[in-house]
Amino acid sequence: MTRIFGKPLISQQEINRRIKDLGRRISEDYQDRDVVMIGVLKGAFAFFADLVRAIQVPVELDFLVVSSYQGSSKSTGRVKVISDLTVDIKGQDVIVVEDIVDSGLTLSFLKKKLLMRHPNSLRVCALLDKPERRTINVPIEYVGFTVPNKYVVGYGLDYQNRYRNLPYIAVLDQDGEQE
């Protein structure tokens, strides 16, 4: 039996519906083209897996592991690449898949790093957008949901490496417990 943690902010059903919509949009935008999908780990793993299955054009997959939190619930302000790409993206159409964009720091860093590799195009798909926290304006071409300025977990997002396995998005209170 699955234990329910807190009240879902975004249900599993809402996530599934939105991913199908995003997959359809990406498939239409990249009709007759191949695309390299880059999942930003660890947080995007669940979203990435479901999203690539919803896309109906040829995709090549790769991953980046980055961190700006280093074990804290607040960003350190510095992005660290822990594991880099294994494919060459020069001349490729690339979509970076993120779990959440809040300050924009990590995404801005990644876009600069990836653009130096000369892709044909570079777009971003994020499950969650938290614009209230934005300190660096960075465009997100495909957004799943806009969320309030609260700490959210589930569906890949974590608090101290917990709650990633929840099939929905929930809000964590200030003490690290779900609301």
Task: Give the DSSP per-residue string, 40-93.
Answer: EETTTHHHHHHHHHH--S-EEEEEEEEESSTTSSS--S--EEEE--SS--TT-E
- Maximum C-alpha span of the chain: 49
**CB-count burial class (<10 Å; 0-12, 13-18, 19+) for 17:** exposed
CA 171 to CA 88: how far, in whole Å? Answer: 38
- Among all chains, which residue has been given the structure tokens 């929930």? 170
Set 102, 129, 173, 175: catalytic member: 102
102 is an active site residue: yes
Q: Which residues are catalytic?
A: 102
